[in-house]
Amino acid sequence: MVNKLIKEDTKMFLTGNEVLAYAANAAEAEFMYGYPITPQNEIMHTWCKLLPKTEAGFLQTEDEISAGFSTLGGILAGKRAFTATAGPGNVIMQDAQSMAEMMRIPFVCAVMQRGGPSTATVIYAQQETRLTCYGGNGEGFRIVYSTAGHQDLYDYMIKAFNTAWTYRFPTYVLADGYQGKMREPVMLYDPASRGIKMVPTTTALLGEGKIGIDRKSVHMRNTYNMEEELMEVLDSYQKDYDKMAEEVAEYEEYKAEDAEILIIAHGIVARSARTAVDELREKGIKAGLFRPITIRPLAVKPLRAAVSRAKQILFTESANGQLAQMVLEKLYGLTTPYSTLFKMGVGVTGDDLVEKVESMVKSPAVV
Amino acid sequence: MARTKIVLAGEGGQGVQSIAKILVEAGYEAGKQVLYIPNFGVEQRGGVSIAFCQIADETIGEPRYSKGDIIIMLSDRAIDRCERYVSENSTVVYDTSVCTVKPTCKCKRIIGIDANKIANEKLSARVFNIIILGVLLAATNVLELSDIKNAMEKALGKKFDAKPELRELNYKALEMGMDLVKEKAAL
């Protein structure tokens, strides 16, 4: 067991990366594996600075391939381990993330998106949305929470551990360089004080006594001989995933009930959308926001209901429609026209959205 | 809803991010809502370094904004990069002793200051950024001098204790920066 640092409500003024390290400690994480890449370095810096007090562990590996697999190894050895990465690091960690899907390993990872493709910028983007949800050679058996600020980072990093250890699917906190580097006030708390019970860490492979005598052997497979054998397993995973999806899917609506123009945005862009909705409402334009919090799985029913109520939809992202693509698939059969405001690797401001929605009032979308 | 949006831009190494941190720390301690995003490239030195700071009375929504209320430009490249954040309601401050050109953007008010020259000739090159912090404090007018001094103590207190004359030097730089704006306002 590690020492938990936050025993009572503590208001702090931190960067998002620092918040994540505190949150992992609050979630009783025992070990972090990682490799440096901007803009997420301060997660491990902070984690390491806290080590003398927390008595947790840390290993800096030689790259993200190793960081990903080491995390899996740590979990298999019975530790509550996690990692964090960004950009090209997230790309090369996909092999390990796929293995977590295949072997149902409760892998937890914070992704702080930066500009892409490739090295691009170290600053900010929402261009790892698709990668984080569906990367790897598999079906995307993953849970992805997209956060919109420091309180979210704290709340959802704690939640990510519980989700991963409950459902045994890899679970992500998807944020970005703005959230990682920016400073704003945040309330840190002991999860127990909010009625949150942490799901205990259980051993996967190791255990007391002799295998075959004192306990059963554990066979976790990553390789299958027969096509049908694989499909049988994956079908059962899909069944588990669908059942789980109804329990974990989260969303937030802001003035969406009577919205004529509904903005669909996730993460930090959703926060700009809130600013825009307030300004537009003051101008007499009925705008609203639908923000998927889990972008995988999506909260499909409420999403379809909100879209059905609206006259027009606006998709906005700091990417070229990565969320929109995932959402549109779930809106099959609905005919609400939509427009888009995509800024690849660049922040979307409230002004951007006010201007765009005003233009949609003047000349409505037809697609 | 009162919200002040600041864009502070200079060359890497000019200390832009350091004073942005002091400014937002002061705001936080004063009970304001604050949000700060540092923006820089991959360079350790050089390159344009920008700090986006917001100080508000109510919860802050958008982390980034299209137009700032106060834009401080401390180099030619900072002018190039940051004119896009200037609106007709913005106050623009630039350093005449560093920049070789004058910002040409349309704005409410443009203030030229020679902070770099003052730092070099009257104080120390090391407190150039603290003069700018004074400029910022006077130009935004949302925080008290005591708030900034407390935040400086938090950031630099150990250095001040080791060398008490540094505290005086920094306070002087702060006041000189504030005076620069007041002088311009009086003109």
Residue A84 lies in a domain: yes
Q: Which residues pair with A324 in a beta bridge?
A: none
What burial class does residue B187 get, using C-beta atoms within 10 Å of its C-beta: 0-12 exposed, 13-18 middle, 19+ buried?
A: exposed
Output the six-digit token pair for A111: 């992704």
Q: pLDDT (tens digit, 9 = 90+) per residue, A33-58?
A: 999 999 999 999 999 999 999 999 99
Same domain, A87 and A183: yes
Which residues in chain B are closer than 8 Å to A178, comparing Cβ atoms?
37, 63-64
Across the interface, whether the CB atoms of A350 and B28 are under 8 A apart is answered: no
Same domain, A71 and A143: yes
Asked which of A179, A194, A209 is the last residue of a domain, the reply is A194
> How close, in Å, is residue B99 to chain A by CA atoms?
26
Q: pLDDT (tens digit, 9 = 90+) per residue, B146-182?
A: 999 999 999 999 999 999 999 999 999 999 999 999 8
CATH number at residue A322: 3.40.50.920
Instruction: For residue A137, give its domain range.
Output: 10-194
DSSP state, residue A193: G
Query: Given B42, B60, B61, which is nearest A122 (Cβ)?
Result: B42
Q: Which fold has domain B3-186?
A: Pyruvate-ferredoxin Oxidoreductase; domain 3 (3.40.920)
Residue A117 lies in a domain: yes
Q: pLDDT (tens digit, 9 = 90+) per residue, B30-68?
A: 999 999 999 877 666 678 999 999 999 999 999 999 999
Q: pLDDT (tens digit, 9 = 90+) per residue, A177-196?
A: 999 999 999 999 999 999 99
Residue A179 lies in a domain: yes
Output the six-digit token pair for B14: 């000019």
User: How many domains does chain A divide into?
Assistant: 2
Residue B133 predicted with pLDDT over 90? yes
Which residues in chain B are closer than 8 Å to A185, comparing Cβ atoms?
28, 33-34
Residue A205 lies in a domain: no
In this predicted structure, what is the pLDDT of residue B1?
53
Give mean pLDDT, residues A218-241: 95
Residue A221 lies in a domain: no
Residue A46 lies in a domain: yes
Asked which of A194, A227, A244 is the last residue of a domain, the reply is A194
Same domain, A279 and A158: no
For residues B92 and B73, the answer to whether their CB atoms sit within 8 Å is: yes
Give the residue from chain B lying closest to A115, CA to CA: B41
Closest CA to B87 of A355, A5, A49, A194: A355
Output the six-digit token pair for A66: 């190793």
> How close, in Å, is residue A259 to chain B by CA atoms?
19
Residue A211 lies in a domain: no
- Rounded to the nearest integer, the mean pLDDT of chain A is 97
For residues B23 and B90, the answer to whether their CB atoms sit within 8 Å is: no
Asked which of A145, A166, A194 is the last residue of a domain, the reply is A194
* Positive/negative CA dihedral, A107, A112, A115, A120: negative
Q: In whole angstroms, what is the distance from residue A139 CA to residue B98 CA?
A: 56
In this predicted structure, what is the pLDDT of residue A206?
77
In this predicted structure, what is the pLDDT of residue B45?
67
For testing contact with chain B, the best of A182, A281, A349, A353 (most B CBs within 10 A):
A182
Same domain, A153 and A301: no
- Give the number of other Cβ atoms within 10 Å of residue A77's Cβ: 13
Q: In whole angstroms, what is the distance from residue B120 CA to residue B134 CA?
A: 16
For residues B39 and B51, the answer to whether their CB atoms sit within 8 Å is: yes
Same domain, A189 and A328: no
Q: How confident is the model at residue A218 (pLDDT cuts 50, 70, 90)?
A: confident
Q: HSE of A52 in the Cβ direction (CA atoms, 13 Å)?
A: 1
Q: How confident is the model at residue A153 (pLDDT cuts 50, 70, 90)?
A: very high
> How close, in Å, is residue B61 to chain A by CA atoms?
5
Same domain, A33 and A168: yes
Q: How many residues does chain B have?
A: 187
pTM, rounded to two decimals: 0.94
Same domain, A307 and A189: no
Residue A269 lies in a domain: yes
